[in-house]
Structure 1
């Protein structure tokens, strides 16, 4: 069986962003680049197997049942579903080869119309991850994986005061395998009960009767660095573009595309009242949460009515620590990924695929965690820092990615 069996086997925010691209920037061109942050991993050994999986991915079409499911989501518009009925991923937009300069590494790139390439990221990462573990480790130690999962469930269920804690599965891109991911979902439903808020995976949400969760990713704000008005106004333009598309729905704003300081300068009282909450994905989560609560207070918004979404490398212990720290001061949600879907013993890979150019111009993710900054043009990265008044940290490497 192929690694990816459905175009819905991806994160919801890929579809929500894709709909906004269709309506606002259908002619935009995008470039994405893969990066493995885990040192010493020989992915070049798997090039042929990965290539075959990409070929299989590009044969998929959405079925009538899948299209009907999408039509039932309140924020998905009929014309977008009509477009998806004709859609398939095009193999010509993907290039894959073993690196000639870094032995063991691969060069995996996607270049083409943003509308026709946006759905590649998550399945490509899932393919690389599953092929690697399948061909280097073999069959998963399911007994060990289930033991570890049960220990996590017991830890949070046995603790007092966590009844309102809400956890969402964010684990598609770095899961052990599609089959393992599918097997975990019913166990999370049964083991967490009301604490399990759903999954970011659209296919699993559809098949298991769960709520599909997600709003926007870094690429939405990155692209506006090239598509918006002047660069300094690009982040504001991206949030306004999102609000035009969803009219108050899907209202969780991502805060770390150009760093938290720049976000807070742009996220004024209008956005504080308009959006339902904010998502953390880099930097110290406690410091981030404290600053978000203070920012909401400063803009005359009660934080107890807003959601802080934590999603940066969480495990259950970190979820419990953060929930205990902020309990009663705001609403909270926790997106747990790799620690749920790839915790069977072997160390998971740290792999990403990020937009690096839009309409031929460089774009950047200027993360609050220096190692997560991604840009292929050091000159542009320096200019972005200057425009948004973001100092370069001493430990950061400009243009890493």
Structure 2
């Protein structure tokens, strides 16, 4: 069994799920899987993927896990009570070969948002582990350990980077659960305070680390259907978040409609209310400069705000960003695949994205075009017109 706990997922799934429970419990959504890595044949693994999803759906939160969740300051007691009753249901998921017959597979998740939001991360972890265990059944992780220790030494032993901290954001594309656990153990032992935490709640609990995360793209995408008029959907999403958390978990995601649109909507109220913003597509140095200038224009001291970088980072990239922005703002770095799946073989670029909410198409318009994902070309064109995106 690959996933052995419902906590073995990213924190932002729980923070978003709480908003869904309190504000949109009847919302219906659809998600779709895509492997962005070309020429990967996943069809032989379909039956095993189905078996692992069935096993995932047998899991329940244990008393210890519920007690841990209740200790998180931003989670309400009624939400944790709901988790005590919660389980995933395989009837909401289908796994089939692509009709194109090209080795691709189609994973579709459709049903109530409240009861499907927790599928994404564990299913991606399942696909990864099944693929890598089948392709590399006798994989010697010595190379992964060597690479990890080189990263640790670079960050830990380079003068001037003693306060540069990283976090693990790599659950969905990890090589395996066992490697993820070992990797975090090594990071904790070797980096000490330079390890800020992990997005994985189960491993945070096991290792005494800080669980990290706020919102994901699906949250803002859903408001294209849930909000008022489409042009105001990003503002409505931020207001819905603020209504729930009252200033806590205050990192806003900036790239669902591109940075220009984010800055138009992220006015003085949001600048002062939210703790910072997260970068997940586009050129990071330009992004950071524009966000800092935006704070200044809105009479906010950038040194009191946090820029979170989380797009395809490795340690040298983290260090360059840290050197460029340190002293000008608070900084946080979420390193994903480069930590959890850098053991030798090339990692898979797999994603699951929300494509519909309440029967209407939703989409992301990223500053990195390859990250866009929608099955409705006309809707994407309409979205671009509404938000004045070239």
Q: Tell me whether 1:232 sits opposite 2:256 in the alignment.
A: no
- Give yes or no for the alignment of 1:356 onto 2:355: yes
Partner of 1:172: 171
Q: CA deviation at 1:327?
A: 1.2
User: Partner of 1:37 in structure 2?
Assistant: 36
- CA positional deviation for 1:215: 0.2
Which piece of structure 1 moves more, 47-56 or 133-142? 133-142
SS in 2 for 1:74: coil
Counterpart of 1:8 in structure 2 is: 7
Partner of 1:259: 258
| 4+ residue segments displaced more than 4 Å | none
SS in 1 for 2:355: strand
Q: Determine whether 1:18 maps to 2:2.
A: no
* Partner Cα distance (2:120, 2:240) in 1: 22
CA displacement 1:9-59 (0-9 Å, x = unmatched): 000000000000000000000100000000000111110111110110011
RMSD: 0.6
Q: What CA deviation, in whole Å up to 9, does each residue of 1:287-338 have, x standing for no partner?
A: 0000001100100111111000000000001000110111111110000000
TM-score w.r.t. length of structure 1 = 0.97
Cα shift at 1:141: 2.0
Please give the alpha-carbon distance, in whole angstroms, between the structure 1 residues aligned to 2:360 and 2:163. 45
Q: Does 1:296 align with 2:295?
A: yes
2:175 is equivalent to residue 160 of structure 1 = no
Structure 2 residue 147 is matched with structure 1 residue 129: no
- 1:184 is aligned to 183
- The 5-angstrom pairing of residues 2-401 of structure 1 reads 2-391=1-390
Structure-2 separation of matches of 1:189 and 1:305 = 27
Distance apart, 1:190 and its partner CA: 1.3
SS in 2 for 1:6: coil
Displacement of 1:102 in angstroms is 3.6
Q: Distance in 2 between matches of 1:295 and 1:140?
A: 48
Query: Which is worse superposed, 311-320 or 182-191?
Result: 182-191
Q: Any gaps of 5 or more consecutive residues in structure 2?
A: none
Report the TM-score, using the length of structure 2 for normalisation: 0.99
Gaps of 5+ in 1: 392-401
